[in-house]
Amino acid sequence: MLTVTKLIVALLSIFSIILLSFTFFIDQDSELYRLIHYYDFGLCMIFLYDFFVQLYKRKKRWQYFYTYGWLDLLSSLPVIDQFRYVRVLRIFRILRIVKSINRLYKFIITNKKASLYGLIVFVSTITLILSSTFVLYIEKDVGNIQTAEDALWWSYITITTVGYGDYYPVTNPGKLVASILILNGIAIFGTIVSYITDKVNTIKKRSSIGE
């Protein structure tokens, strides 16, 4: 059965494979390499959570585990690099469910609100990862964002629009990326507020119907 969560996980799987492929062209001792692996660890946690959710929801849990569940598990463990590319199986499973663009379009139209929330979460995650990666690459020799940890901290305080000012881009491309990340942060918090409001209204409606 196709769900918004499965679509998001499939899209994140595609992105994670692209991100991992990019590391083949980077010096393993560089800060950029370390930053990408930090983010890959975070994605692994998402995939691992998805594995346990899938295992919990399945009626035939052992059947799921022995068919492709064990591959989902191995590809989600951050300590096993060799199995990271097994994530492509998640993508193929989603494509098998969708089968056609028309069916995917109908699914999105039927689940407009959930699809919109899911899309914003996906785009925001990708924007966060790419922004900090680009800023570290651009600023590492000219600014004060020189390590993977610097980039992580800078992206966190920027997306939350706190802006302590301890780390900041000094180049024009870096400032442009920072501006995009700030707008991304505003969109995320707007989405969170909208989601919470929608859930509260749904609970109120159910309560009034029950009365």
CA atoms within 13 A on the CB side of 172: 0
How far is residue 86's CA from residue 80's CA, in Å, rounded to a whole number? Answer: 11
Cβ-based neighbours of 201, under 8 Å, separated by 6 or more? none
């992105």: which residue's tokens? 15
pLDDT tens, residue order, the chain (211 aa): 667 788 888 888 888 888 888 888 888 889 999 999 899 889 888 888 988 888 888 888 888 788 877 877 877 877 666 667 777 776 666 666 566 566 667 777 888 888 888 888 889 999 999 999 999 999 988 888 999 999 999 999 998 878 778 888 999 999 999 999 999 988 888 888 887 888 787 777 777 765 5
**Residue-level length of the chain:** 211
Collapsing DSSP states into helix, strand and coil, what is residue 203?
A: helix
How far is residue 28's CA from residue 170's CA, in Å, rounded to a whole number? Answer: 26
């900041």: which residue's tokens? 168
Residue 161 contacts residue 186 (beta carbons within 8 Å): yes
Collapsing DSSP states into helix, strand and coil, what is residue 93?
A: helix
